Structure 1
Amino acid sequence: MLPIYLASSSPRRKMLLEQLGLPFTVVPPDVEEEEHDGLPPRKLVEALAAKKARAVAPAISRGLVLAADTVVVFQDRVLGKPAGPREAAFMLSLLSGNEHEVYTGLAVMEKPSGRLVVTHECTRVRFRTLEEEEIARYVATGEPLDKAGAYAAQGLGAIFIAGIKGCYFNVVGLPLARLARVLREFGVDPLKCFLEK
């Protein structure tokens, strides 16, 4: 099996990839996640994921480089990681009582061939109505400050989610079903690898 390199410093993506039982090495990309004005969300996350994969690829001689990027979108407005507590509270007030989309771009690059597959996943999430006081308390925990859309579905933010349509793991940051399909394009089948251990 080709070695797998996760181009991410996210502990959530590391945890999700571990669920597949595949051995991998974490290689954080040295890139700025700047906004690409004018790009629709699906193209934005695909471009950022591809950028991360390309940033790590030169350090790899052989294997698969896996990268991802996640954004929250509310009424065509991209909500990345909040700049601070005030912006986090503002984002949560926007999401309160409403539906939004979570997009994750996924890029897998093979070395040394340079073959690159880029795709994305979209999940709809519905929040219950939040009280100002609970928004303030949640922001005070610090959890939303490094999360796209200012919440963590796998953490305390779960108490705000009234419903999800689509891939839950996409909301956490790595759509596992789509990833498995992409890996199979490169000859890596997680189930087969597990059984052959």
Structure 2
Amino acid sequence: MIYLASQSPRRRQLLEQLGVPHALLLPDDADAAEALEAVRPGEAPGTYVRRVTRLKLEHAMRALAQRQRPPAPVLCADTTVALGRAILGKPRDAQDAAAMLRQLSGQTHRVITAVALHAADAVHEAASESRVRFAPLGEDDIAAYVDSGEWQGKAGAYAIQGRAAAFIAHISGSYSGIMGLPLFETARILRAAGAQ
């Protein structure tokens, strides 16, 4: 059994797909957890997502100790969308979501997901980088998607496993990584840690 320190239902679903028994280890203060995702000036997307994942893991390890729950490996992940060096995080509101979708329209962007596992006093890390090409989007497409609310809490303002799949002309890389938990890399670090 491992702890999954994530509020993402997609990550739970993907761990279940691997057949990994897990329990959730959620933050007491979701706003404080979100604050960990602040971007530093000039920070490259790959550096950013790895740093945030490590911070989330440290936060989760403190929570595990404070709650006095039985010891077990702890898994964290974070996903970011990058258009060039620009990091497109979770939109603040519907206007921000629409602006992000306009930026992605007709463009190829990167989706980077970092994974970190604390097991037996060691940290195992991996990352997945995929490329996603959006078809050109009309204002009606963007408005309908924003109205659906699916963009909420999603890096880059979209979820590949939802309605936004209709916008995606091509992907290269890890579909599960784009969803938020790259299964190949996750299975590899779980095996390396003896947790699978």
Is the contact made by 2:49 and 2:114 (CA closer than 8 Å) also made in structure 1?
A: yes
Corresponding residue SS for 1:91: helix
Counterpart of 1:49?
Answer: 53
CA-CA distance at 1:152 after TM superposition: 0.5
Q: Aligned AA for 2:25?
A: V
CA-CA distance at 1:118 after TM superposition: 2.1
| Equivalent pairs, count | 185
Equivalent runs, 1:17-32 vs 2, <5 Å: 17-29=15-27, 30=29, 31=33, 32=35
Distance in structure 2 (CA, Å) of the matches to 1:129 and 1:143: 19
- Say which of 8, 25, 28 aligns to 2:6: 8
Distance in structure 2 (CA, Å) of the matches to 1:188 and 1:119: 15
Equivalent runs, 1:50-69 vs 2, <5 Å: 50-58=54-62, 59=64, 61-69=70-78
Counterpart of 2:115?
Answer: 106
Q: Aligned AA for 1:77?
A: A
Is the contact made by 2:158 and 2:164 (CA closer than 8 Å) also made in structure 1?
A: yes
Counterpart of 1:132?
Answer: 139
Corresponding residue SS for 1:72: strand
Where in structure 1 do 4 or more consecutive aligned residues deviate above 4 Å?
Answer: none
Corresponding residue SS for 1:97: coil
Counterpart of 1:187?
Answer: 194
- Say which of 75, 78, 98 aligns to 1:89: 98
Task: Report sequence identity in percent.
Answer: 43
Task: Give the TM-score of the pair, scaled to structure 1.
Answer: 0.90
- Say which of 35, 39, 42 aligns to 2:39: 35
Distance in structure 1 (CA, Å) of the matches to 2:110 and 2:146: 21
Distance in structure 2 (CA, Å) of the matches to 1:74 and 1:130: 16
- Say which of 134, 156, 167 aligns to 1:160: 167
CA-CA distance at 1:162 after TM superposition: 0.5
Distance in structure 2 (CA, Å) of the matches to 1:161 and 1:70: 18
Task: Give the TM-score of the pair, scaled to structure 2.
Answer: 0.90
Equivalent runs, 1:70-81 vs 2, <5 Å: 70-81=79-90
CA-CA distance at 1:55 after TM superposition: 1.0
Corresponding residue SS for 1:144: coil
Give unpaired runs (5+ residues) of structure 2: none
Corresponding residue SS for 2:77: strand
Q: Aligned AA for 1:23?
A: P
Distance in structure 2 (CA, Å) of the matches to 1:185 and 1:139: 41
Q: Aligned AA for 2:184?
A: A
